[in-house]
C-alpha cells in the first residue's frame, strides 16, 4: 500500500467526516490540520516500528561497498577546496596521490578547514609508506598549482552510510573484505575470496593499532570509533570490497505514492492502527483507542511471528 492508501484507510477507520484524499489533493488538502496529523502519525509509525525491535528480519540487509585509502586533511587553505582529480604531493616525503572522493562530514568536522579524502597512491614514484603525519601537501589541478594548502592530520575513517544511506547500524561481526576488481593492481587470482574481519573494540584498537605509520595492506581487523565511524587495520593500501550485514533505517513517507517498502506489504495496515492510536489519544477517545490498540496488538503478533527469529525450547541439561 502506498502512503495515500494508508491515509485513506485511517480516515475510513477513524469515522471522521472528511473526504478521502486523492493524488491531486494529497499535498494540499482542505482541513489541512487533521489530514496532516494523520499523515505525520502514519509516517512516524513507520519509523517507530523499526525501533520496536532491533532484530526484525525486514530491517536486516547485506551491503557491499568499495573502500580506498583515506587521509584526513587539516588546516586547509581558505583559497583551496579539495576536489576529485586533484593531484597532491607531500612536501617532505614526495608521496604523490590523486583525490578520488571528498567527505567534509567525517570525524565531526564542520569548520570548513578539514576534510577526509579517498586517495589513489602513485606507487611508481614514491612508496606510500614514506608519507609523514603533519607534513604539508601541495596540490595541482590542471595547470594550476596550490603550494602547501593543507596538513595531513591522520588516516581517514569510514562512514558506510555515505555509500548506502539506509545504513543504521553495522553488525561488526559480519564484516568481510577482499581485493576489488576495480583496483588497477587486481590480479584476479583465486586467493581473492572474501575474508572475515576480526572485530576489535575501540580502546583495544587505540592501544595496539592506532598509529599513522602502522601497516598498509589488506585489512584484517575492524573497529567502531567513538564517533561511530569504522577504522581498519592494516590500513587499506588499495581498493577493497567490504561486505557487511546492517540494520536499515526507514525513510519518512512524504509523497502520496511513497511506499513503506522495507515493511512486508501484508503488514502495512499495522501503520494505520498505530496512527489511529495517536489520533484517539490526542482526542481522548477511549473507544477508538481500545479498538485501535486491539488491532495493533493483533497485527504486531503477526509481524513478530513472520519477522523475528523462531523461539525454540529444548530439555534442560539438569532434567534427568
> For residue 86, what is the domain's CATH number?
2.40.30
In a domain, 63, yes or no: no
In a domain, 312, yes or no: no
In a domain, 242, yes or no: no
pLDDT at residue 216 in the model: 92
pLDDT at residue 111 in the model: 63
Q: 132-151, pLDDT tens digit by residue?
A: 999 999 999 999 999 999 99
Q: How many domains does the chain have?
A: 2
Confidence class for position 301, pLDDT limits 50, 70, 90:
very high
Cα–Cα nearest to 20, from 31, 12, 39: 12
Average pLDDT of the segment spanning 268-286: 96
Choose the weakest-confidence range: 69-73, 164-168, 314-318.
Answer: 314-318
Please give the backbone phi and psi of residue 175, each rounded to the nearest 5 degrees, phi first.
Answer: -75, 130
pLDDT at residue 8 in the model: 95
Query: For residue 225, how many other CB atoms are within 10 A of its CB?
Result: 15
pLDDT at residue 318 in the model: 59
Domain ends where: 121, 156, 191? Answer: 156
In a domain, 179, yes or no: no
In a domain, 16, yes or no: yes
In a domain, 197, yes or no: no
Residue 143 or 110, more confident: 143
pLDDT at residue 190 in the model: 57
Domain ends where: 122, 156, 190? Answer: 156
Q: 256-273, pLDDT tens digit by residue?
A: 999 999 999 999 999 999
Quote the domain boundaries for residue 150: 69-156
Provide the grid cell at 40.
505525520
In a domain, 261, yes or no: yes
In a domain, 50, yes or no: yes
CA–CA dist 178, 78 (Å, integer): 38
Whether residue 319 is predicted with pLDDT greater than 60 in this model: the reply is no
Tell the residue number behind the cell numbers 489530514, with chain if given: 35
Amino acid at each position: 500500500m502506498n502512503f495515500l492508501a494508508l491515509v485513506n484507510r485511517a480516515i475510513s477507520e477513524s469515522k471522521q467526516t472528511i473526504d478521502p484524499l486523492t493524488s491531486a489533493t494529497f499535498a494540499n488538502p482542505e482541513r489541512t490540520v487533521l489530514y496532516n496529523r494523520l499523515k505525520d502519525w502514519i509516517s512516524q509509525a513507520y519509523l517507530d516500528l523499526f525501533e520496536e525491535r532491533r532484530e526484525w528480519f525486514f530491517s536486516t540487509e547485506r551491503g557491499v561497498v568499495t573502500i580506498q585509502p583515506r587521509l584526513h586533511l587539516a588546516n586547509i587553505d581558505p583559497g583551496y577546496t579539495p576536489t576529485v582529480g586533484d593531484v597532491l604531493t607531500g612536501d617532505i616525503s614526495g608521496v604523490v596521490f590523486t583525490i578520488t572522493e571528498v567527505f567534509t562530514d567525517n570525524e565531526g568536522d564542520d569548520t570548513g578547514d578539514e576534510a577526509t579524502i579517498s586517495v589513489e597512491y602513485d606507487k611508481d614514484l614514491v612508496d606510500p609508506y614514506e608519507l609523514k603525519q603533519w607534513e604539508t601537501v601541495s596540490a595541482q589541478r590542471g595547470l594550476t598549482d596550490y603550494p602547501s594548502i593543507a596538513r595531513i592530520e591522520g588516516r581517514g575513517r569510514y562512514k558506510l552510510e555515505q555509500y548506502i544511506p539506509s545504513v543504521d547500524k553495522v553488525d561488526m561481526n559480519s564484516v568481510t573484505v577482499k581485493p576489488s576488481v576495480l583496483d588497477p593492481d587486481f590480479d584476479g587470482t583465486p586467493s581473492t575470496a572474501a575474508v572475515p574481519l576480526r572485530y576489535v573494540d575501540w580502546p583495544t584498537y587505540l592501544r595496539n593499532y592506532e598509529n599513522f605509520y602502522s601497516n598498509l595492506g589488506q585489512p584484517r581487523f575492524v573497529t567502531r570509533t567513538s564517533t561511530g565511524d569504522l577504522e581498519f587495520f592494516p590500513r587499506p593500501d588499495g581498493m577493497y570490497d567490504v561486505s557487511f550485514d546492517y540494520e536499515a533505517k526507514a525513510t519518512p513517507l512524504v509523497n502520496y505514492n511513497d511506499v513503506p517498502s522495507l515493511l512486508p506489504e501484508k503488514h502495512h495496515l499495522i501503520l494505520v492502527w498505530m496512527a489511529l492510536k495517536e489520533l484517539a489519544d490526542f482526542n481522548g477517545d477511549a473507544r477508538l483507542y481500545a479498538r485501535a490498540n486491539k488491532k495493533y496488538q493483533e497485527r504486531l503478533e503477526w509481524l513478530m511471528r513472520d519477522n523475528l527469529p523462531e523461539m525454540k525450547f529444548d530439555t534442560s541439561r539438569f532434567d534427568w
